[in-house]
Amino acid sequence: MRSIVNLVVIDSSDSLRPPAFDIMMIIISSLGAALATIQPISEPHVAARIILDPTLFAATIFLALRGSAGIAGLIQRGIMDVYLSYPVSRRSVFLIIYISRVVLPAGTLLVSPLLVAAIVLFPVVSRDPASYIIVFAAYLVQAVMFGSIFLLLGLVARSTGSASVASITVYFAYNITSLLLSIIGTTLRSDSMTSLADAMSFYYMVYRSMLGVEVELWQFLLVPAILLLVILAGYIYFTRRFEPR
Amino acid sequence: MIRELIPRILVLVGVAVILAALIAEAVGAKDHVEWGVSIDTSSNPGAAMTVFAFSSSGVVSISVEGAKSIYYMKLKGDPMIALRQLSTINISLVDQTLVQDIRAGVAYGAAGLKTNPLLLKALPLLANIIPVEVKTPEGGNNSLRIALHGGQGVLVVVEPDGDRVTFSMEYRVTGYRRLDTNILIASGFLVSVAGLVFYRMLRSW
């Protein structure tokens, strides 16, 4: 257990190293602060959504560069060999890089503007902190889903350039697919297409359900199902097929 | 380096809070907005106005002049859903005006409606598609007063009595409060100092 914690600390020190991480954090926190102060947000879940919408984009780009390209860099520089020489199982190493390259950066980047907004809008947020946290959790699931895909791409690509380009392309393709489904669905008056486009954003489904709009069960489950599949694929690849050289 | 993450976050959050206080002082939120528009209905069988509280909650008062009948519905979520529903029943918008007032947390707009006039009369029957309530006009000026939560909107559809329909809207924000600017600056300063102290403590261990 101590070895696992040590490796998490070592790898997180690389993935969250200043100044890039700090610059991104101060920019998105300031942006969150600006969004929280220029409009009269009256409800905690609305505040969380307004602040996290632009933050999710920034966090995803960070995950593509530090998560995906970062893990490819570890392989290129031979550091993954060192990680795998630790007296821990491959399963544990996968867990470690998953925490330090996906969950920790995504969580930290999403939580920092929310902290600022919680202070600024304390009288509003304190009325229903649970809904504030639920919206945060929904955005975190979406960010972790993107991060998991990027991690898998980084492990497979093994080149920092290819990993970052592939990750950003997948992110772009995912969003454009959602947009196209929405446009085509609206044009063809197809509810199933627009529902699918909406379901590709887990946070939007959670937010809509908090507004009292009816959301079907499959729409809630789509993104978590993709997330589980990608984690499983990454886990199987890393523990059975991955060779660091 | 990772153990310094919490002090780093505290310092940055403190700076962002101070920045928030300065932004709030310079371009703070508004708690009240008024707007009016007149729609030419000589070539359109109807007119519509929408108010969507995208970030604030509040009470909207809408006055309508020149209406034979008025229908309105409250919407939850994205106003695009309402537009989709309107196009589903062959009502299209012309001469649209849309204002997004971010400082009041509300978007509002009006448009002429191109459709079959019979369809407008039939709107209350389409309650399964759009829940519609009918407001019978009394005299020339009719008003609606509706409370909106964040993410809710209202769509008012009017069958005109003459060549023009005039909408007047007043929106008052409710439930919004933020910490006072001085308290925000003090809190930001304290959070940053706490981060620095924490950092010093970690370095000395």
For residue B132, the model assigns a pLDDT of: 57
d(CA A101, CA A16): 9
CB-nearest to B55 from A33, A50, A120 is: A50
- Threshold 0.90, pTM exceeds: no
Could you tell me which of B78, B99, B116, B82 has the C-alpha nearest to residue B33? Answer: B99
Residues B93 and B58 in one domain: yes
CB contact under 8 A, B13 and A213: no
Give, in order, the Cα–Cα distances in Å from B24 to each of A31, B17, B109, B179.
Answer: 13, 10, 27, 10
pLDDT in tens, B174-205: 988 888 889 999 999 999 999 999 988 888 87
Chain A residues in contact with B174 (beta carbon < 8 A) = 42
Over 70: is that where the pLDDT of B83 sits? Answer: no
Percent of chain B with pLDDT over 70: 83
Query: Which structure tokens are listed for B179?
Result: 């910490």
CATH number at residue B67: 2.60.120
Residues B80 and B64 in one domain: yes
The domain tally of chain B equals 2
Over 60: is that where the pLDDT of B103 sits? Answer: yes
CB contact under 8 A, A18 and B8: yes
For residue B79, the model assigns a pLDDT of: 58
d(CA B25, CA B178): 12
Residues B98 and B154 in one domain: yes
Residue with tokens 């966090």: A59
Residues B79 and B12 in one domain: no
Query: Which structure tokens are listed for B192?
Result: 């940053």
Could you tell me which of A5, A1, A163, A7 has the C-alpha nearest to residue A84? Answer: A7
pLDDT in tens, A15-74: 888 888 888 888 888 888 888 888 898 889 989 998 999 899 999 999 998 888 889 999
Q: Does B109 touch chain A (CB under 8 A)?
A: no
Residues B93 and B15 in one domain: no
Residues B134 and B195 in one domain: no
Q: Average pLDDT, stretch A180-196?
A: 88
Residues B44 and B11 in one domain: no
Residues B36 and B23 in one domain: no
Query: Which structure tokens are listed for A162?
Result: 């290819």
CB-nearest to A40 from B19, B104, B184 is: B104
For residue B194, the model assigns a pLDDT of: 93
What is the per-residue burial (b if ≥16 Cβ within 10 Å, else e) of B54-67? bbbbbebebebbbb
For residue B82, the model assigns a pLDDT of: 65
Following DSSP, what letter does each residue of chain B receive, concatenated?
A: -GGGHHHHHHHHHHHHHHHHHHHHHHSPPPSEEEEEEEEE-SS-SEEEEEEEESS-EEEEEEEEESEEEEEEEEEES-HHHHHHHHHHTT-EEEEEEEEEETTTTEEEEEEEEES-HHHHHTGGGGTTTS--EEE---SSEEEEEEEE-TTEEEEEEEEESSSEEEEEEEEEEES-----HHHHHHHHHHHHHHHHHHHHHHHH-
Percent of chain A with pLDDT over 90: 60
Residues B69 and B140 in one domain: yes
Mean residue pLDDT across chain B: 83
pLDDT in tens, A117-164: 999 999 999 999 999 999 999 999 999 999 999 999 999 998 889 999
What is the per-residue burial (b if ≥16 Cβ within 10 Å, else e) of B172-183? ebebbebbeeee
List beta partners, residue B164. Answer: B40
Query: Confidence band (pLDDT; 50, 70, 90) for A97?
Result: very high
Query: Which structure tokens are listed for A184?
Result: 């085509």
Q: Does B32 touch chain A (CB under 8 A)?
A: no
Residues B15 and B73 in one domain: no
Q: Which residue range is the domain that position B155 belongs to? A: 32-174
CB-nearest to A116 from B16, B28, B173 is: B16
Tell me the residue type at A55.
T
For residue B127, the model assigns a pLDDT of: 53
Residues B14 and B109 in one domain: no
A42, B174 in Cβ contact below 8 A?
yes
Residues B41 and B14 in one domain: no
**Domain residues of chain A, as ranges?**
2-241
For residue A236, the model assigns a pLDDT of: 95
- Dihedral pair phi/psi, residue A35, rounded to 5°: -65, -35
Give CA A50 to chain center in angstroms.
Answer: 17
